[in-house]
Amino acid sequence: MKILITAGYHLSEDKLDLLRDLGCHPVLWSKEKEPVTEEHWDADILFSYQVFNYTDVRRFHNLKLIQLTSSGIDHIPVEYLREKNIKLCNARGIYSIPIAEWVLLKTMEIYRNSRFYEKAQEAKRWKKHREMEEIYGKTVGIVGTGSIGTETAKRFHSFGAKVVGINRDGRKVEAFDECYSIHHLAKVVGEWDVLVLALPLTKDTEGLINEAILAQMKKEALLINVSRGPVIVEEALMDHLNRERLKGAALDVFQEEPLPEESLWWSHPKVLVTPHVSFLSTSVPERAFQLAYRNIKAFKEGRPLENLQP
């Protein structure tokens, strides 16, 4: 089987040899943001991130399995894959640890006034800010109880917080003290000190955090988004921050990416901005390869696949 690797990761010869030992022929495509050329349209397996942004999936006439290096599948033509019985596996789980750590980092940056001390250091001023808060004793609500939400919940627990989860049906998930259905969000969001968004973007979750939800939040609450930008109605969030109806926000994702230079988010005093990097870690490429290797091996042996999408 031919494996076309467009994942943007450098695979060592040792790793390529592991794939060859499975009876596969791995081919590296280094031009990730260019259309795949005709000599590779016969690939049986794709190990990829954004290949379908640049190459029509119908070009791959032998395609049987896609192993993504992303968790989100909103950029994938899933209906076509179902029609052709092409297996699709995402990378759920490989980014959960760095994202969870990013959430804790940004929460602490806001609670411990890191921005104030960064400015004081730049100005060489020995100055103290007395308004420093703790995570201990806070109530954290996490919308999305999958791998990212679970890893985030574990870390907040270790700081002594109560953690509430929101998912589609309210099912209990380990690592959360309580779980509620998404339909109860408006009723419980007002009890939280921190709202973390860690849910996938779908037609049902787009615009989920709107004026009505924001109006229910505590005035001193934090909002942290590691989901996708469109789950928030950005105009409503900006309005609440401007009117000091929220303590602050940490945003790694936005409606428009890259964020334009003229965007007001860059300079907002209550907002921490990062350029969609919460998932980055030097440990991620190894996790991605190991997941791909296990799934390719399982596929060849006719066994169940990890993270298989319906």
Indicate which residues carry an active-site annotation: 228, 257, 276
Cis peptide before 258 (omega within 30 of 0): yes
Closest C-alpha to 271, from 295, 240, 296, 227 = 240
Query: Which of the 8 DSSP states describes residue 101?
Result: H
Q: Which two tokens stand for residue 216?
A: 């229910």
Cβ proximity of 161 and 137 under 8 Å: yes
**DSSP string spanning 202-236?**
-TTTTT-B-HHHHHHS-TT-EEEE-S-GGGB-HHH
Query: How many whole angstroms separate alpha carbon 108 and alpha carbon 300?
Result: 46
271, 265 contact by CB (below 8 A): yes
Pair of tokens at residue 262: 């003229």
